[in-house]
Structure 1
C-alpha cells in the first residue's frame, strides 16, 4: 500500500498493527533496503562517510 500523505509516526503504527501489509514510503523502502543489505553481510564504510 502506497502512503504519500501520512506522517512517519502513523506509518510506523500501521506497520505494527498490520504486519501482513507492505507499506510504501521513502523511509520504509530505505529501511527495508538497509535491512536486506545487513542480512546479506553489508557493513557501512565509515571512512568514506567522513571524507
Structure 2
C-alpha cells in the first residue's frame, strides 16, 4: 500500500511540473516564455526582409 502512495505522490509531482511547463507556453501579460519568444520574434522580423 505504501508503494501505491509513493507512485501517487510521484505522479502528483510530475503533474505539477507539467502544469508549470504548460503555463510557460501560453501568453500571460508578458512574463511567460511564450511572451518572450513573441517579443524576440517581433524585434527580429525585419531581419528576414533583407535590404
> Normalized against structure 2, the TM-score is what?
0.35
Q: If you compute each CA radius of gyration, which structure gives the higher value, 1 or 2? A: 2
More helix by share: 2
Kindly indicate whether structure 1 or structure 2 has the higher relative contact order, using CA contacts under 8 Å at least 6 residues apart.
1
> Normalized against structure 1, the TM-score is what?
0.35
